[in-house]
Amino acid sequence: MTKFLVLLMLFSLSFAAQAKRFTNQYCEFELPDGWICDLEGSEYVCQSTNDERRKEAIIILAAKIRGEQDDMEQYQGYLKGTKTYVLPGGKKQISEPKYVKVQNINGQPWVDAMHLASEVPGFYTRYLATVKEDLGVAVTFSVAKPYYDAYAGVFDRIIASLRVFRQKQVDLSKYRKDARGEGVLDNVTFVDEEMPTHDLAGKKGKGGGAGGADDLMLYGLLGLGAVIFIIMKKKKKGAP
């Protein structure tokens, strides 16, 4: 437990020192070092550049012109229910809603919800959804269940830096007539055969390998050991 707490502290310090800002035309937030966001179709997909780490967690950002299903009440109702989808191979997956609430982030109200197995089996997904003038905006944070504790604080800091803006002046009385159909939450579903799946006991299933919590702990301890080694070496040389 002590080693794991040391790892989390190092992970947090690394994020604070090396975070970078992602910005597009309607949203911005801080990303940890080594993460990038790419535009894939109409959504931004953010992952680590490390091939192993990228299979542990993913962030997806989507926005659309508001339609009939894009308001805070309907987002809450949608996220209170289970999500059902069919996996490759025909197996049906039903999610487990954990909570739904509304919170204020940097002056903007967001619907904040958590599901288990709503996007990828064995992954927790945290949903942030809001409306800003004529836009509906949704961000999802998905992490494999065995690595949830290692990423939860990182996601919290990203969410705390989340800002949404809209510079265009629009006539809000028209948006419901101009944009019907699916809500923005329908645009952030991400089921990828390359992402490793996990059963509810946390065992890895088909979908590719990934470094686990033991790897993260090892990296943290190696980093801490390197720092201690440098300090001791300097002391032997009489360096301040």
- Burial (CB count <10 Å: 0-12, 13-18, 19+), residue 224: middle
Structure pTM? Answer: 0.68
Dihedral pair phi/psi, residue 129, rounded to 5°: -140, 140
Q: Which amino acid is at 140?
A: T
Q: Give pLDDT tens digits for 137-157.
A: 999 999 999 999 999 999 999
User: CB within 8 A of 205, min separation 6: which ones?
Assistant: 121, 122, 196, 197, 198, 199
Q: Helices in the chain by DSSP H: which ranges?
A: 2-18, 72-80, 148-160, 175-178, 213-237
User: Quick one: which of 120, 123, 104, 124 has its CA closest to 112?
Assistant: 104
What is the mean pLDDT for each group of 10 consecutive residues in the chain (240 residues)?
45 52 94 94 94 93 93 96 90 95 98 95 96 94 96 97 80 49 65 52 44 40 39 43
- pLDDT for position 171: 56
State the pairing for strand pair 96-105/92-94. Answer: unpaired
- pLDDT for position 87: 87
**Residue 172: helix, strand or coil by DSSP?**
helix
Q: Give pLDDT tens digits for 176-204.
A: 444 445 677 875 654 454 556 555 444 45
- pLDDT for position 183: 74
- pLDDT for position 173: 56
- Burial (CB count <10 Å: 0-12, 13-18, 19+), residue 174: exposed
